[in-house]
A = this chain, B = another copy of it.
Amino acid sequence: MQRQQNLTKNQKIVLDIIEKSTEPLKAYSILSNVKKKGINAPPQVYRALDKLVDMGKIHKIESKNAFVACQSSNCKVSKAAAFSICESCEEVTEIDNSKISKYLSSFADKIGMKYKKYNLEFFGLCKKCK
């Protein structure tokens, strides 16, 4: 049975390469990087990505179709994440969501939604680039 603690072989391989990367990785980039480890085809990568997202181990940056390792242990619980994305250097940083998530979840209540998760992406210029 799939548990959070016990990743499967393919999940470990995929998570490992995402954690080692300094930038968001795309599925086919992951695929080409893990061919030497015996992962040969897209479904193997996408299945691992789906499960890792479900577990809160990684996040999908929707605007980039790319994946990053979670930087906030918080997400394992809430599955809500926020990112700042620099439009110049493309740097993506996960924002510690404990402050923001309280505000947003109460907001979701107000609009009559039974809230499960959210995804927030800020765009602009990072400290270095501005």
Within 8 A of B (CB), among A54-113: 62-63, 84, 86-87, 95, 99-100, 103-104, 107-108, 111-113
User: Which of A2-10, A24-32, A122-130 lies at the binding interface?
Assistant: A122-130
Alpha-carbon gap, A63 to B99, bound state (A): 24
Q: Mark A residues whose CB is within 8 Å of B.
A: 62-63, 84, 86-87, 95, 99-100, 103-104, 107-108, 111-127, 130
Once the chains bind, are B114 and A125 in contact (CB under 8 Å)? yes
Once the chains bind, are B108 and A87 in contact (CB under 8 Å)? no
User: Given contacts A63-B62, A84-B108, A103-B103, are A124 and B119 in contact (CB under 8 A)?
Assistant: no
Alpha-carbon gap, A113 to B87, bound state (A): 11
CB-CB nearest in chain B for A130: B114
Once the chains bind, are B121 and A115 in contact (CB under 8 Å)? no
Once the chains bind, are B116 and A87 in contact (CB under 8 Å)? yes
Once the chains bind, are B111 and A116 in contact (CB under 8 Å)? no
Residues in B neighbouring A117, C-beta threshold 8 A: 122-124
Partner of A118, one of B86, B87, B123: B123
Once the chains bind, are B107 and A100 in contact (CB under 8 Å)? yes
